[in-house]
Structure 1
Amino acid sequence: MVYDGADANDLFRRHRATLPVWMPLFYERPLEIVAGAGCTVTDGEGREYLDFYSGISTNVLGYGIREIRDAVERQLRSGIVHTSTFYLIRAQVEAAERIGRLSGIEDPVVFFTCSGTEAVETALLLATQYRDSNQVISLRYAYHGRSFGALGATGDRRWQGRGLSPLRVAHVPGGGRRRGALRDLDDTAYVRACAEELEETLTTSTPERTAAMIVEPVQGVAGAVPLVAGQLSAYKEILDGHGIPLIVDEVQTGWGRTGRFWGYQWHDVTPDLLVFAKGGGNGISMGGVVGRRDIMSCLPVPSLSSFGGNPLSMAAVRATIDYIEAHSLPAHAEKTGALLLQELRRRLVGEPWVREVRGSGLLLAVEYAHPGGSARSAPQMAKAVQEACRGRGLLVGLGGTAHDCVRIMPPLTLSAAQAREGAHLVAAATKDVRES
């Protein structure tokens, strides 16, 4: 069914009347997506788009994937969508076994939730209980979710509101180094300075016991900012020396998006707790934590998630992992992501409004700044480019520490031809805006 513009306007009016004002919508004319196939989606007015946003990095396989649909329909036909975790759920056990093996953590235990935010909150609960401390170390510019504890661990004040939190949080350098005293350092000097700052923070300005450090291997909301080579392993060495667990937040980087099954696998570390969500169900709500048995077993009281690990979600999770492995999607994402990054840079490097094109695998961003070597970010340029991309039939996201980035996160099934087409459309949209 195709809807006309009047219907879209009415839906927008009803959205504004019934949903919170703090729920933003993209575009001057908000978009309703009603159908999808592969890496393309169709809006309520019948227009087709190449999707470079994937529902915020969630539809990792794309749309209309028969294997996922069949798995979900089989579970629906059984009549059992939900039973609660007070009963054995075969699909939950099988998914936990798969994720545990894939995590690389020795003797792993898995707990399922319904979202990434809930998963982060669970990891923080476990770490604070295990270490008997509410002190957490996080990265500057990090984003970990919208709940009370997750927002406390977030290192970007645009998302924090008043900053109230049940945690004490100290922030150390993230992946970007364009600002502050570390901005001109090369990688080796930057990693050394980061390590020194973490050690200094732990020995001078935090309590004697710290619960955990939480890290994104690529800082997604900050604008696809990868940690510098050697940075995470330097942090982990210091944490191990203090007996502090490392939580790796793989909500956006997991399931092959960076070119490895988990983003941390680009670094010489193994996390103590690994948080996952988003793409694991290819759009079906899921999340969870996998970690060391001693940490995962430390709660002194019973706990559960009514809907976490439900039979329907777990059917999707098993089918999604099967598909990722059968089609070698992490390797495909590495190859196609390298092509997309190359094509974006070829078309955009030298563009006066583009400061940087960066990322890992199929988690990329284009950052905009005022021309002439200015350090002044250009959020309005990024927003205008997003609008212009839509006009040309491409959906992209927004992000960056100053909202100055176009975020690019297509399905991992993206073809080389689609990568080239998308890069062309981003470059053409940038030129459209510059010349307007």
Structure 2
Amino acid sequence: MLRRQAQRESAARTYARSLPIVPVRARGLTIEGADGRRYLDCLSGAGTLALGHNHPVVLEAIRKVLDSGAPLHVLDLATPVKDAFTTELFATLPAGLADDARIQFCGPAGTDAVEAALKLVRTATGRTGVVAFSGAYHGMTAGALDVSGGATDVRVARLPYPQDYRCPFGIGGERGAELAARWTETALDDPKSGVPAPAGMILEPVQGEGGVIPAPDGWLRRMREITAARSIPLIADEVQTGVGRTGTFWAVEHSGVVPDVMVLSKAIGGSLPLAVVVYRSELDAWEPGAHAGTFRGNQLAMAAGAATLAYVRENGLAARAGTLGTRMLGRLQGLAAAHPCIGDVRGRGLMIGVELVDPEAQGPDDLAPPPDPALATTVQRQCLDRGLIVELGGRHNAVVRLLPPLTLTDEQAAAVLDRFADALAAAERVHRARPSGPAR
């Protein structure tokens, strides 16, 4: 199957290259491959599987719809399944948004919802430009690439996203975040900055693909103040951070920020494709048909999503993710003390990143050692050899990312970290055994 896949599928495939396995069964944290091997899955469909694989409440919700004889595809018509999903979703939204919100069902992927959000704020404000941040990832379609930094013909003003380890101002901490906020404010107010009044500002409360970088709460509050004072809609991309992943139901809740628009996908479909935009009613300036999509009425995804949202809410899984994530970060930070190749450990809840570096290549003026993507790739491979699936991310693909399901037990968390520690040590031995290359 792997050989046929390589022969038939596009060269753009990604996970299939770094994770050459053929899953045939899965439950919770565990995947079983066609070769009979079992793996602990800390990729979770890039954060889609909040409850892990094939959770009973998700399967039951899907079976119920299938057995009822209800239509599975209805475009944007009202159905009991959609009504139940919307009601459950609105019950979880940040206070201050749910009471006056509208929802737009989009195409099935998060990038579709990003495109809808950009179109929404442009329609509502009559402006065209967008403010986004360095290191962002919002999807792979044209507008989403514009605000992600992946496009060459950019119509977006990109501003610094604060971070401690590789601070764009070289200082980190509260002062670094304050400078990032002042830079944003100046760019918006200076008539010679080249940044015209934008239609919106889009940001991730925790940058995922950018390297698992949590936005400082104070900086997020400043972004809310800056945008509100200038009538700029604030768009929070919660595609990966939502549904309890970071320790609160929505990551913006850590800072108390209420955005004007929220982009939601991944976990809200309970493992099935679903994406929505939720926004303040005053932005609802669309004419009928102004934004549409054939596959915006997936009844199975709505049923699975409603079941997932309810289970996370009723069982306090967001708070559980926060508690367990703090413990896992603590153990990884202890591991970093014994392994200089771990430059930084960061994250929020069960959204964790470990940045791998080459400490021997650090120059006297370097604030941090250079990232080591080759070591990260070796660590990922060694993890797979030990039955642990992890993802790589970050600006240089040198951040090992852990996105386990929110149903992770203490024992499973310990097993994940044991396997990671063993894989890291093995990867270091492999690298030490390699002939040294030219000095960098």
| TM-score normalized with structure 1 length | 0.92
CA distance in 2, matches of 1:211, 1:144: 17
Within the candidate set 314, 319, 327, 1:326 is matched to 314
Gaps of 5+ in 1: 1-10
1:129 paired residue number: 123
CA distance in 2, matches of 1:123, 1:419: 36
1:163 paired residue number: 152
CA contact (8 A) 1:27 1:387 kept: no
CA contact (8 A) 1:362 1:412 kept: yes
CA distance in 2, matches of 1:135, 1:255: 30
Percent of aligned positions with the same letter in both sequences? 32
1:270 pairs with 2:275: no
Q: Summarize deviations over 1:357-409 as a string: whole Å, max 9, x none.
A: 11000000110110247222100100100000011111100101110011100
3-state SS in 1 of match to 2:338 = coil
CA RMSD in angstroms, aligned pairs only: 1.7
CA contact (8 A) 2:243 2:268 kept: yes
1:193 pairs with 2:167: no
1:79 Cα deviation after fit: 3.2
Summarize the alignment of residues 127-276 of structure 1 with structure 2, pairs less than 5 Å apart: 127-155=121-149, 160=150, 162-164=151-153, 168-179=155-166, 182-187=169-174, 189-204=175-190, 205-206=193-194, 208-276=196-264
Matching residue's letter, 2:69: G
Within the candidate set 339, 342, 351, 2:330 is matched to 342
1:86 Cα deviation after fit: 4.8
3-state SS in 2 of match to 1:349 = helix
1:335 Cα deviation after fit: 1.0
Q: Summarize deviations over 1:300-351 as a string: whole Å, max 9, x none.
A: 3423232213221111111111211222110110111111111222223330
Matching residue's letter, 1:410: P
1:181 Cα deviation after fit: 5.2
1:285 paired residue number: 273
Summarize the alignment of residues 370-381 of structure 1 with structure 2, pairs less than 5 Å apart: 370-372=358-360, 374=362, 375-381=369-375
3-state SS in 2 of match to 1:230 = helix
Q: Say which is worse superposed, 193-202 or 242-251, in terms of deviation.
A: 193-202
Q: Summarize deviations over 1:20-67 as a string: whole Å, max 9, x none.
A: 212223556611211111211111111111111101011110123111
Within the candidate set 338, 341, 349, 1:353 is matched to 341
Equivalent residues, number = 417
CA contact (8 A) 1:339 1:419 kept: no
Matching residue's letter, 1:169: V
CA contact (8 A) 1:352 1:372 kept: no
1:80 pairs with 2:70: yes
CA contact (8 A) 1:398 1:405 kept: yes
1:366 pairs with 2:354: yes
1:226 Cα deviation after fit: 0.4
Matching residue's letter, 1:318: A
| TM-score normalized with structure 2 length | 0.91
1:107 pairs with 2:100: yes
CA distance in 2, matches of 1:181, 1:30: 36
Q: Say which is worse superposed, 282-291 or 91-100, in terms of deviation.
A: 91-100
1:176 Cα deviation after fit: 2.2
CA contact (8 A) 1:100 1:109 kept: no
Q: Summarize deviations over 1:172-199 as a string: whole Å, max 9, x none.
A: 1213244465121431x12221121111
Within the candidate set 3, 10, 34, 1:20 is matched to 10
CA contact (8 A) 1:85 1:306 kept: yes
3-state SS in 2 of match to 1:429 = helix
CA distance in 2, matches of 1:29, 1:110: 36
3-state SS in 1 of match to 2:292 = coil
1:90 pairs with 2:80: yes
1:7 paired residue number: none
Question: Do the aligned partners of residues 81 and 371 (structure 1) sit closer, same or farther apart at CA in structure 2, a change above 3 Å counting?
Answer: farther
CA contact (8 A) 2:165 2:172 kept: no
Question: Do the aligned partners of residues 307 and 347 (structure 1) sit closer, same or farther apart at CA in structure 2, a change above 3 Å counting?
Answer: same
CA contact (8 A) 2:270 2:307 kept: no
Gaps of 5+ in 2: 363-368, 431-440
